[in-house]
Structure formats: structure tokens, C-alpha cells
Amino acid sequence: MGTKRQFRIWRGDETGGDLQDYTVEVNEGEVVLDVIHRLQNTEAPDLACRWNCKAGKCGSCSMEINGKPRLSCMTRMSTFEEGETVTVTPLRTFPVIRDLVTDVSFNYEKARETPAFAPPPGVAPGDYRMQQVDVERSQEFRKCIECFLCQNVCHVIRDHEENKPAFSGPRYFIRAAELDMHPLDAKADRKEYAQAEMGLGFCNITKCCTEVCPEHIKITDNGIIPMKERVVDRRYDPLVWLGSKIFRR
């Protein structure tokens, strides 16, 4: 037999909504998503939430728990104080569909806008070769589970809806960084593209994206900052600029 805990959960849709109070049983070892499932099985069968793997790998169950963007399947109830009310709200940066489900299609649009890997001309599929060291260099970025917590927390769009058209966000900056490290990618300079087309310049390195990433990807230090530094070098350092012309890859 578990203990009774207090929850406040946002209920509503695109026309508006409010926080509703629930008292619900919690058992040892449970996570926030377990509690949401218990509510769906008892007093709130119509409570909408998105989830899939319950193992921190599908990136579906993103929500804000006590104001912090988190995966609900990886947030243990033991992280909260006994007697503390747990408040669960939908991701704030994206439009609500219903209850805890948001419309994250902004991110899919940005994914489509990011130019895909472009193989070098004359190399047939199956003939691509690269060194193991090059595979490993960008491995960190390929751990992304597309939970969009980093996209949700970045103040550039969280507080400024008007920035959305011009800003791809941290998840796509690491995609650009990953492709920039790819020795066979023949697309013209990914850093320049990120600066010119993806809104890299809007990022002022607050690192909130890195803080919330459940895969512990060093989005800012390993992805964003190196790209920013190299863009700045090329623009303002005539020697680096000249070198980049002479030793073009």
C-alpha cells in the first residue's frame, strides 16, 4: 500500500484551461508517468498525455514538472519532498492540443529545413568510408532522442514567439555540428549555414538547453560554442579567412 500524494495537473485545450488538484496513491520506485497512468485508470480517464517507451528513450513524455522541463518517465517520485505538491504542466513553448499534449510540429518543420547529409559526388552508396575516430567525434550528438526539452527551455523562443521562424533551436544546432564533423558531408559550410539560416546568432549561450538534456549532451560547449567560434574566426580574422580559402576541404 502506497502513500497519498498531492498533484496539480493542467487540464484544458487550445481555448484555455486550469490546474486541477488530485490526491493519488504513490508506491515506492514509481515515476511521475506511473502516477499519471494511475489517474487515467481511476478518476481522470480522459487525461491526455503522450508517452511510448517508459524507458527514457522515445522522447515522447516531455512535460514540465514543478516548472522544470523533464521526461515524466524518468522523474522519480522520490526526488520530491514528502508532502510536496507535484505540479505538472504541458511544455510551454509549443501550442497545447489537450492537457499535457502539445503540438511539437515546430520541431519537425525545423528538421525539414535543416539540409540533409550530402554525399560527395561520384561516391556510390555502399562505398562511403570514414575513420572510426570520425564516427566517434559526433557520437554524442547522435544520442539525441528528440524529446525537445532543449527546444522548449530555450528563452529565444520560449519568451519570444516571433523568433520562431528565424530560429531552429539547440536540437538542430547539434545536428548542424554533427554534419559539420562528418568527413564525407559535401554540403557547403554548415557553420555559415547555421549562422545565416538557422539563427545561431540568436543564441547567447545561456546553456539552459544543456541543463535539461536527458541524454547529457553538451549541446552548448561541444556543439554551439565551437560553431560560433569558427564562424567568428572566419568573419573577423583575415588569416583564418585566407587559410579557409587556400586549404578548403
Sites of contact with ligand FES (CB under 6 A)? 51-54, 56-61, 71, 73
CB of 10 to ligand SF4, least distance (A): 21
Contacted by 179, from ligand SF4, ligand FES, ligand F3S, none: CB < 5 to 8 Å by type? none
Q: Which is nearer to ligand F3S, 24 or 200 (CB)?
A: 200
Interface map 207-226 toward ligand SF4 (x if CB under 6 A): -----xxxx-x-x-------
Single out the residue of 100, 145, 177, 224 in contact with ligand SF4 (rule: CB under 6 A): 145
B/e letters for 73-98, b = 16+ CB within 10 Å, e = fewer, are bbbebeebeeeeebbbbbbebbebeb
Contacted by 206, from ligand SF4, ligand FES, ligand F3S, none: CB < 5 to 8 Å by type? ligand F3S
d(CA 182, CA 193): 15
Contacted by 204, from ligand F3S, ligand FES, ligand SF4, none: CB < 5 to 8 Å by type? ligand F3S
Interface map 168-197 toward ligand SF4 (x if CB under 6 A): ---x--x-----------------------
Instruction: Give 44's contacts (C-beta < 8 A, 6+ positions apart).
Output: 9, 22
Instruction: Give 146's contacts (C-beta < 8 A, 6+ positions apart).
Output: 59, 107, 171
Q: Which of 182, 191, 234 is nearest to 243 (CA)?
A: 234
d(CA 6, CA 246): 65
Contacts by 41-44 with C-beta closer than 8 Å and gap 24+? 44/9
User: CA-based Rg of the chain, rounded to a whole angstrom?
Assistant: 21
CB of 179 to ligand F3S, least distance (A): 18
Contacted by 78, from ligand FES, ligand SF4, ligand F3S, none: CB < 5 to 8 Å by type? none
d(CA 229, CA 57): 32
Contacted by 171, from ligand SF4, ligand F3S, ligand FES, none: CB < 5 to 8 Å by type? ligand SF4
Angle between helical axes of 105-113 and 170-180 (0-180°, round to 10): 30
Single out the residue of 47, 63, 150, 224 in contact with ligand SF4 (rule: CB under 6 A): 150
CB of 110 to ligand F3S, least distance (A): 12
Residue ranges in contact with ligand SF4 by CB under 6 A:
144-150, 171, 174, 212-215, 217, 219
